[in-house]
Amino acid sequence: MAADEGDGPDRSGLSGTLPIGRETEVDRILRSIDRPCDPPHALLILGEAGTGKTQLLRVAEETARGRRTRVLSAQGWESEEPLSFASLHQLLLPVLGELDALPEHQRLALRTAFGTAPDARPPEGKVLRAAVLTLLSHIAQASPVLLTVDDIQDCDRDSMGILYFVTRRLTDQAVTVLFAARGEAPPAGAPTDLAVLCLGPLSRRAAARLLDAQPGAPTGRARLDLLRQAEGHPQSVIELSRAARGEAWPSLAGGEPQQSSRIQQMSATRLSALPEGTQRALLYAAAASHHEELTTVMAALGTHDLKVWVPAEEAGLITIADGRLTFRDPLIRAAAFHRQYAKQRQQVHHDLAAVRGQNPSHRAWHLAAATIGPNESAAAALEDVATTANQEGKYFTAAKALEQAARLSAHDHDRTRRLAGALTAASNFGDPAWVRDLYALLTRVTRDPDLMCGAACALSGALSLLSFQQEAFSLLLSVSQHTPPGSAKTAFALVALATGIAFQSGLPEHRQQLPRLLDQAVRAARTEKDRCEQENWFFPELAGPDVLAALEALVSTGIEPVAHSDSALRRLTTPRLITPAGRGQLIRLMATASVAYYADVPDLCAEQFRQADELLRQQEALGSRAWTLAAQVDTLLSIGRWAEAETLIEEGLTHAVIHRWTRVEMDLEALGATLRALHGENVSDMQFIGPNWRSVSLDENRATHARMLRACGLTAMALGDWDSAFRHFRALFQDDDSPLDPFLSPRCISELAYAAQRVGRQQEAARILMEVRERQGPRPTTRMTLLMHHAAALIDDDADPEHHFRLALVNPEADKWPMERAQARLHYAIWLRRRRRPLEARTQLTAVLEAATRLRARHLAASARSELRASGVSHTPASADRLAELTAQQQQIVRLAANGLSNREIGERLFLSPRTVGSHLYNVYPKLGISSRHQLRDILLHDG
């Protein structure tokens, strides 16, 4: 988890938008401004051109000015590098009017260095360094000072020598120094002990968010191509997005970069300075894909002499290692390719395709790139690429190759087959916008009923991921009525998808349609037995009666979970339905996991999801993963495997942002907030205010709405805001007390009951509990039985509370849900203590504290600790009291060490040396009453 909010830097006063994907770097820089006297007070920001160094300096300057810090800045210019003290003069120009505060000899040295004194003798270096140090110390007495110098690699050496000297001497002054330099290593002469912050590529999620922030950013396959080409380089994301604006189609070649006149202008000087032979070589390198070996490029180029690359290496444009050539800046690659004429680019692709021993996949892409108009030979080669990619689970490559093959096809039948394959692969890969584009292309060339039905399934799944559940379900209903599927595979795919959409929407009218759709699929399967199956390019993984039987079990559970989940689970786990390894096995695993989720069998659910997830990762089948993520996280949270849940949330959010799975992103955001509330860490007033939450209709995404409401309710509980907690939990049920979401809402009944008890709304909650009991029927799941007993003990005036508490705790199956059991124990202990039965209460509270410690549930631990004290248990002083004896900096160090950070990692965050961190920890141990680092976590946990 991230650091507590109070430990972070103050970002108030920032008027502009923070750099996307650089939040950690901004935090580190702002910490140095917040505490300018804490060493190290100087920081060097390193990164390639376009990685955002200058933007980070501007953020620091804006923040400093907002805090009445004096800002002095300079910019290195290559043309001024030969001029002595040019950068120093630029930096100090705003404060030259304060030179009168300096001794005369120092004042004269500065004026001489800057050429404003009549004395022509060069100033003595020692005096000049002392003069700058004195001047900055004088200024810092009035207010803190921030010095920023950008592109120090282009500053003159005299200036930087003085600034490096001064930086070492200003350790006890309110002066912060930020340097920025291009490259991956500090410039020559930089102090070896200067703290360094390296700007690497943006994460995949951050790059996608940056692309989304650009006006007119591409969507679908063009978006995915752009993100892969940009390689996380911020400026490349921005410029390639500008270049792609207005493009009718993505570029044809497999890795061919986009271009624009702006990119050409930005790179013209650096490329034009190279020898003609090197420019030609870069054209071949740019046309090659990222995975082609250097020997292949040089064979196409017609040379084996590596000297041709030397000028480009010296200019920092490329790197050559491990037999491959890499452009250090994706924009240089784009410019190197497109600055040549189209005829030359076509010839380059011909030459690369003709290299002896060329990889068949690369050859196919180069043939396609060199082709103008329909070409069956090139299309067939791409189709072969797609066949191999599909077998290896590389759906992005398969969809891309088939889409290009379709455009090169001369005949409608071939185009239709290839578009259907592309649509299937894109749906498996999980990019909704790309699916939508391919659906539009396919429906222009065919009206075949079964193809239309399969295509509609792909589009419907895409619409659901985009949060449009009503439109997605209506599309399935329409095709089932007007162009019903002829094959059993398509019919079962349709009803399984409809079941998933109905679960997400939570709308009763959707669930009511499932029996008819299932009956249609069963009839299609019976009919198909009497005839040969027709040609079908969709859903090959659904071949076999065992796979269809697994889907039938899943759909029947979706129709009536309480009544059908147990029998469906028995069918799915019988040996005869265990499918051998292959695509059918994945379907069975996902169906079994989903039914176990409905049936509240968490161990089986988690294991089946884990196995399915391994296969999905291997196959790059992100589209299928999108449908399982929320349920998988739900399950991991319920059984106390919170670290796994957190990892899955972060990984899932990355995919959701890249592929714009709107409703999946919202689900995972809500589950992430739920996890933070359960941990009792980083808890603040919960508000879901992002663009998705403002634009998406929650009424047709009730599963998402239910997860959001629970997250808000748990957060309010952790903050002690019981009115808000009750309001959020109450919203999980409608005015007539029916559940907002038929599956998720009832599982919050005990949390609603406790919030109702705290605000005196027991009767209202009791009505809802009666409704939940009625809907669960005579044989609810074990989990629901325990939750309803827990709720009854809290709010049912007609029941015996102790009887229900014992029923909620006596069943050993309750250990499967450790947090829910711990909460029931806590509430039982409170009830016991208030009836003057402290010994029994202590037994329950001890078990609660053990569970909270194991789960790292700080809020629960604090409640248990408080109740133990109230029940007469003498205890060590609360850690909050002991922490209060520490300085603010020592408290920060203790919290970071308790979270597992090393002394070096703590030092990097707080700008302290590892030795200083160790000294602080050594001094605080006696104050906290502990003897080792391992006890810090317990100190903070017991405090909550």
Question: Residues 766, 767, 772, 778: what is their CA dihedral angle, to the nearest 10 degrees?
Answer: 90
Q: Is the pLDDT of residue 582 over 70?
A: no
Average pLDDT over residues 403-425: 94
- Are the CB atoms for 466 and 432 separated by under 8 Å? yes
The pLDDT value recorded for residue 5 is 36
Q: Which DSSP category does 306 fall into?
A: G
Q: Which residue has the higher pLDDT, 507 or 34?
A: 507
What per-residue confidence (pLDDT) applies to 174? 84
Q: Is the dihedral of CA 168, 172, 175, 177 positive or negative?
A: positive
* DSSP secondary structure letter of residue 301: H
Assess if residue 56 is contained within a domain: yes
Domain boundary among 169, 198, 227: 198
Rounded Cα–Cα distance for residues 320 and 337 (Å): 18
* Mean pLDDT (whole number) for 902-930: 73
pLDDT value at 39 more than 70 = no
Contact in structure between 405 and 418 (CB atoms under 8 Å): yes
pLDDT-derived band at 100 (thresholds 50, 70, 90) equals confident
> Are 44 and 182 in a shared domain?
yes
Average model confidence (pLDDT) for the chain? 86
Q: Is residue 83's pLDDT more than 90?
A: no
Element spanning 774, H or E: helix 762-776
Q: Which pLDDT score, from 0 to 100, does residue 248 have?
A: 40
Highest mean pLDDT among 163-167, 783-787, 854-858, 877-881: 783-787
Q: How much is the pLDDT for 447?
A: 83
* Same structural domain, 52 and 190: yes
Highest mean pLDDT among 415-429, 882-896, 908-922: 415-429
* pLDDT bucket at 888, cuts 50 / 70 / 90: low
Q: Are residues 28 and 169 in the same domain?
A: yes
Per-residue pLDDT for 584 more than 90?
no
Q: How does pLDDT run across 657-682, given as a tens digit for each residue?
A: 999 999 999 999 999 999 999 998 76
The dihedral formed by the CA atoms of 754, 756, 762 and 767, expressed in degrees to the nearest 10: -100
169: amino acid identity, one letter = R
Both 74 and 181 in a single domain?
Answer: yes
- 39, 186: one domain: yes
pTM, entire model: 0.85
534, pLDDT greater than 80: no
Amino acid at the residue 514? L
Please tell me whether residues 748 and 886 are part of one structural domain.
no
- Which residue in the block uniquely carries the two structure tokens 């859903």? 539
Interhelix angle 914-928/888-898, nearest 10 degrees: 90
Q: Given this model, what pLDDT does residue 211 score?
A: 94
Residue 448: partners with Cβ closer than 8 Å, 6 or more residues away = 416
Overall average pLDDT of the 786-814 stretch: 93
Q: Are 473 and 501 in contact (CB under 8 A)?
A: yes
Higher pLDDT, 529 or 20: 20
Structural tokens at position 884: 């209060």
Q: What domain count does the chain have?
A: 3
CA 601-706-430 angle, to 5 degrees, is 75
pLDDT over 50 at 2, yes or no: no
259 pLDDT higher than 70 = no
> Which backbone phi and psi does 43 adopt, to 5 degrees?
-140, 135
Residue 822 lies in a domain: no
Judge whether 805 and 824 are in contact, CB under 8 Å.
yes
Domain assignment present for 91:
yes
* Cβ neighbours, 10 Å, residue 478: 12
Residue 222 resides in a domain: no
CB 53 within 8 A of CB 199: yes
Helical residues (DSSP H) of 778-857, grouped into ranges: 782-795, 801-810, 818-834, 838-855
Residue 253 pLDDT: 46
Contact in structure between 564 and 556 (CB atoms under 8 Å): yes
Q: Which amino acid appears at position 581 of this protein?
A: A
**Environment class of 750 (CB within 10 Å of its CB; exposed 0-12, middle 13-18, buried 19+):** buried
From 136-150, 189-203, 256-270, the region with the lowest mean pLDDT: 256-270
Q: What is the three-state SS of 43-101? A: EEEEECCCCCHHHHHHHHHHHHHHCCCEEEEEECCHHHCCCCCHHHHHHHHHHHHHHHH
Q: What spatial distance separates the first Cα and last Cα of the chain, rounded to whole Å?
A: 15
Tell which phi-psi region holds residue 252, choosing left (phi > 0), alpha (psi between -120 and 50) or beta: alpha
**How much is the pLDDT for 878?**
45
Is 909 within the bounds of a domain? yes
Q: Which residues contact 912 (CB under 8 A, 6 or more apart)?
A: 38, 39, 893, 906, 920
* In a shared domain, residues 125 and 16: yes
| The predicted structure's pLDDT at residue 15 | 45
Note the pLDDT tens digit of each residue in 349-397. 999 999 988 889 999 999 999 998 899 999 999 999 999 998 888 999 9
Strand partners, 148: 73, 178
Q: Does 583 score more than 80 pLDDT?
A: no
Distance, CA of 491 to CA of 548 (rounded, Å): 10
190 in the same domain as 64: yes
In which domain, by residue range, is 741 found? 720-790
357-363: which pairs have CB atoms within 8 A and are 24 or more residues apart? 357/296, 358/296, 359/292, 359/296, 360/384, 360/385, 361/254, 361/385, 361/388, 361/397, 362/254, 362/288, 362/289, 362/291, 362/292, 362/296
Give the Cα separation of 820 and 835 in Å (integer). 23
Strand partners, 320: 325
**Both structure tokens of 718:** 């952790």
Question: DSSP class of residue 213?
Answer: T
In a domain, 551, yes or no: no
Burial label for 873, CB within 10 Å (0-12, 13-18, 19+), is: middle
Task: Find where tokens 């992005």 sit.
Answer: 396
The C-alpha torsion from 739 through 744 and 746 to 751, rounded to 10°, is: -110
CA gap 187, 181 in Å, rounded:
7
pLDDT given at position 252: 41
Would you say residue 99 has pLDDT above 60?
yes
Distance between CA 487 and CA 536 in Å, rounded? 8
Q: Which of 21-35, 239-253, 829-843, 850-864 has the lowest mean pLDDT?
A: 239-253
3-state helix, strand, coil in the chain (%, to 5): 70, 5, 30
Angle at 351 between CA 345 and CA 355, to 5 degrees: 150
Q: How confident is the model at residue 13, as a pLDDT?
A: 46
**Residue 547, pLDDT score:** 83
Q: Do residues 747 and 890 both lie within one domain?
A: no
> Has residue 315 got a pLDDT over 60?
yes
Of 198, 222, 240, which one is at a domain's C-terminal end?
198
Within the chain, what is the greatest distance between any pair of CA atoms?
107
pLDDT of residue 685: 63
For residue 937, give the CATH number of its domain: 1.10.10.10
Whole-number pLDDT of residue 643: 93
Q: Check if the beta carbon of residue 57 is closer than 8 Å to that of residue 26.
A: no
pLDDT at 103 over 80: yes
Instruction: Specify whether 33 is located in the same domain as 170.
Output: yes
Residue 47 belongs to some domain of the structure: yes
DSSP 309-344: GHHHHHTTSEEEETTEEEESSHHHHHHHHHTS-HHH
| Token pair recorded at residue 792 | 């009854």
Whether 218 is covered by a domain: the verdict is no
Closest by Cα among 626, 637, 568 to 602: 637
Radius of gyration of the chain (CA): 33
38-52, 67-81, 597-611: range with lowest mean pLDDT = 38-52
Name the least confident of 577-591, 740-754, 777-791: 577-591
% pLDDT > 90, the chain: 54
Q: Tell me, what's the pLDDT at 8?
A: 47
Looking at the fold, whether 49 and 160 belong to one and the same domain comes out as yes
Q: For a pLDDT cut of 70, what percent of the chain falls above it?
A: 88
Q: Cα separation of 777 and 788, whole Å?
A: 12
Of 743, 758, 790, the one marking the end of a domain is: 790
